[in-house]
Amino acid sequence: MPALGEETVPPDEAAMIARLVEQNLALLNVDERPVRRGQHPKHHGCVRAEFIVEPDLPAEFRHGLFASPRRYDALIRFSNGESRDDRRADAHGMAIKLFDVPGEKLLGEGTTHDFILLDHPIFFIRNVEDYVGLFDALLAARRSILPKLAFFLPRLIAEIGHVYVTYLRKKPHELDILLDTVGKKPKTPLQEYWSTTPYLLGPQVVRWSARPAMPLPTLPQMTKSPDLLRHALAAQLDAGEVSFDFMAQVQSDAEKMPIEDPTIRWDEKLSPPRKVATLRLPKQRPDGVPLMEFCEHLSFNPWRCLPEHRPLGGINRARKDIYDKVSRKRHELNGVPVGEPSLEEFLRLHEVGRV
C-alpha cells in the first residue's frame, strides 16, 4: 500500500504516454480552421479575474502560491467538453491562468501558472493503460460507419454508444462516471468545479475545487440558443461581481484517497476542503470578438506550475506531454506562434470590449 503522497509509476508508462500523444494528434480535426482543441473546443468567454490568497493560512498550507497573502491577476476560460451546442448535455471546464507568478515552472518559461478544473468531482479514466484503451475505442468510433449512420444523434452520443459496445461495457464503474460527467446541462458556467486529480501543496497532497461563494446575479430569461452558456455568463457578469472560494482538500488516507485512481471520490468527511484563496470576477463583458479570438489560441497545462504544486498520478503524468504536443501541433496548423499571453494584452482587449 503506497504511503501518503506516494506515486506508483508502471514500468511501461512512458511508452503508453507516447501512444496517447499519437492518439490525441490523430483525433485533431485538421480540416477545420481554426483547428480547435481536441478536448474542450468551445469556450463561453475570456474572463478577467483576481486570485487572492487567504491571509492567516495554517503553516502546512503556506507553500508555493500560498506562501504569503497576495493577489494575482488571472483569466478564466469556461468551456464545453465536446459539444458546440450548449443546449445539449456535456462536460464543462474551468481553466484558470494566473499572471506574474515568480519562480521556475515545471513546464515552459514565463510567469504564468495554470489550474484545470472540471464540473464533476471524479474522472472517468482510472490509469494510463485504460486511457490508451479508451482512446483506441474512440479512434475506432471515429472511423466506424456507426456515427455516420446515426445522423439523428449528436456525434458525442453516437461515439459514446460505439465506445460502450467496444470497450466501456466491461468497465461499469467508469461508464457510470462518464455518463454522469457528460450528462450535465447547467444554466450557467458559474458553478462548482473540481480538479479530479491530485497535486502537491508543499509536502501535502490535495485536490483543488472552486465553488461559487456568493449568490449569483439572477439570470434573465434566456433564449434557447446554441450559445446559451455564453449569453448566461455575459449577462451575469454584466450584472455584477461574482466570486469563487478556491479550495484544497488534503489527502489524509492513502487507501481511501488514492493518488493513482481519480475515479475514486475523496470523502469530505475524512478531509473537509479548506479555502485557500478567493477568485474574484469583477463586473465585465467577457465575450467580445477580440477576447474570444484571444481565448481560442490560449493553451493550458496542469504542469505549467510551481514545483510546490506538481501534478501527481498517472493521468496527470500523461497530460503533460499530451496537452503540450497537441497544443503545439494545433498552433502550427493555425499559423499562430506558441507562447504564453501577456497580462497587458489581455487587459487591453478587455478595455476594447468595454467601448
Where are the domains positioned within the chain?
13-354
Angle ∠(63,191,66) on CA atoms, nearest 5? 10
Please report the pLDDT score of residue 151 as a whole number: 43
Mean pLDDT of the chain: 90
* Residue 139 pLDDT greater than 90, yes or no: no
Please report the pLDDT score of residue 308 as a whole number: 98
* Residues facing 80 on adjacent strands: 42, 92
On the 0-12 / 13-18 / 19+ scale of CB atoms within 10 A, 195 is buried
Q: Are 120 and 196 in contact (CB under 8 A)?
A: yes
**Local structure of 231: helix, strand or coil:** helix
* Residue 352 pLDDT greater than 70, yes or no: no
16-62 pLDDT per residue, tens: 999 999 999 988 888 888 888 878 889 999 999 999 999 999 999 99
Measure the CA–CA gap between 255 and 332, rounded to whole angstroms: 43
Measure the CA–CA gap between 277 and 281, rounded to whole angstroms: 13
Residue that is written with C-alpha cell 465553488 in the block: 211
159-182 pLDDT per residue, tens: 666 675 567 778 899 989 988 999
Measure the CA–CA gap between 37 and 28, rounded to whole angstroms: 7
What is the torsional sign of CA 251, 186, 82, 94?
negative
217-271 pLDDT per residue, tens: 888 777 789 999 999 999 999 999 999 999 999 999 999 999 999 999 999 999 9
**Region at 189 (left for phi over 0; alpha for psi -120 to 50; beta for the rest):** alpha
Measure the CA–CA gap between 247 and 242, rounded to whole angstroms: 16
Q: What DSSP state is assigned to residue 311? A: B
The full DSSP string for 64-91 is GGGSS--EEEEEEEEEESS-S-TTS-B-
Measure the CA–CA gap between 148 and 236, rounded to whole angstroms: 38
pTM (two decimals) = 0.94
Please report the pLDDT score of residue 217 as a whole number: 83
- How many Cβ atoms sit within 10 Å of the Cβ of residue 352? 12
Angle ∠(79,101,193) on CA atoms, nearest 5? 30
* Residue 195 pLDDT greater than 50, yes or no: yes
Please report the pLDDT score of residue 281 as a whole number: 97
Please report the pLDDT score of residue 31 as a whole number: 81
Fold of 13-354: Catalase HpII,  Chain A, domain 1 (2.40.180)
Say what angle helices 314-334 and 13-27 make with each other, to 10 degrees.
40
Alpha helix stretches (DSSP H) within 186-276: 228-239
* Residue 286 pLDDT greater than 50, yes or no: yes
Please report the pLDDT score of residue 153 as a whole number: 42
Binned at pLDDT 50, 70 and 90, residue 155 comes out as low
